[in-house]
Amino acid sequence: MSSLEALIFDVDGTLSDTERDGHRVAFNRAFADAGLSWDWSVETYGELLAITGGKERIRHYLDNYNPDFSMPENLDEYIAGLHAAKTAHYIKLLENAEIPLRPGVERLLNEAREAGLRLAIATTTTPVNVTTLLKSTLGEESLDWFEVIAAGDIVPQKKPAADIYDYALEHMSIDAANCIAFEDSRNGIISSHGANLKTIITTNAYTEKHDFTGACMVVDSMGDDSTAMHVIDGHQTELPSMTIELVKEIHAQCEFLAVNDNE
C-alpha cells in the first residue's frame, strides 16, 4: 500500500473563494476600463466557469454570449490585453486583503507542514495570482511552503486536461499513488484523475451541484472553529474539520476510480 507523502492543491474555489468576488469583479472592472458595456453577473460568470482559463473564458463569451461584437483585427492580442488588465485589478483586490482563504485552509496547511508532508499547487490561474494570494493571506514566507507552484500557461492544455498535475508530479519526482489532490469542480477532478490522483473535493456556491463521481470525499469546506465541515459524499466522518490524520485515512482507504470526462 502506498503511503501519503504530498498534498497538491487547486487554488480558485479550493484555497479561496476567488471566483465570484475576485475574478468576476476584476473582469468587470477591466471591461469598464476598456469602455466596454459587458457586465458578467454572478449567474453568467457561473456559466462561464465551465471554461477554464481567463483568456479562454473571454473568447467563449464573445463566441457564445456576444457574437455581434465587432471583433478587432488581432483578437488574440485584444483578449490578452483585457486579461492583463483583469489580472492587475485582481492583484489589487488581493493586496487589499479583500479575498481571504476558505475556512480551515491555513490550519490544514500548517498541520501538513508539521507532519512533514510535501505541498504543491496545480492551477490554471496565473502564477502572479497564486503568489499574491499566498503572500496576502499567509505571508511572504508561505511561498517556500510549496515545493512546486504549477500555474498558468506552463503546460499545453489547461484543466480538464491532466497536464498541470502531470507537470507538478514530474517536477516533484513523486508517484501519483503517494499524493492526494484537493479540488472544487468537475473540471478539476477530471484533471486530477487524469493524472491518477486520488482526490478530495471541497465545494463552493458555484460547484456544489457538479458531478463528483470518483471523489474520495466531498465536503463543503475544510472546517474551522466557526464553520464546521459537512460531508456531502464519499468517506464518512463525524469530525468537524479536515485534519491531516483524516486525509491520511482517506488516502489509505479510498479506491481510485477514474473519471470519464465524456459523461
Catalytic positions, written as ranges: 10, 12
**Mutual angle of helices 75-95 and 127-138, in 10-degree steps:** 0
Q: Which residues pair with 219 in a beta bridge?
A: 202, 231
In the block, which residue shows the cell 483585427?
73
CB atoms near residue 26 (< 10 Å): 24
Q: Residue 32: exposed, middle, or buried by beta-carbon count in 10 A (0-12, 13-18, 19+)? A: middle
Contact 86, 54 (CB under 8 A): yes
C-alpha pair distances (Å), 83 with each of 22, 137, 161, 164, 173 = 14, 23, 22, 20, 33
HSE, CB side, 13 Å, CA atoms: give it for residue 250. 29
CB atoms near residue 169 (< 10 Å): 24
Q: Alpha-carbon distance 216 to 202, whole Å?
A: 11
Residue 220 C-alpha cell reads as: 463543503
Q: Provide CB contacts within 8 A for 118, sequence distance 6+.
A: 5, 6, 7, 147, 172, 174
Q: Alpha-carbon distance 39 to 229, whole Å?
A: 34
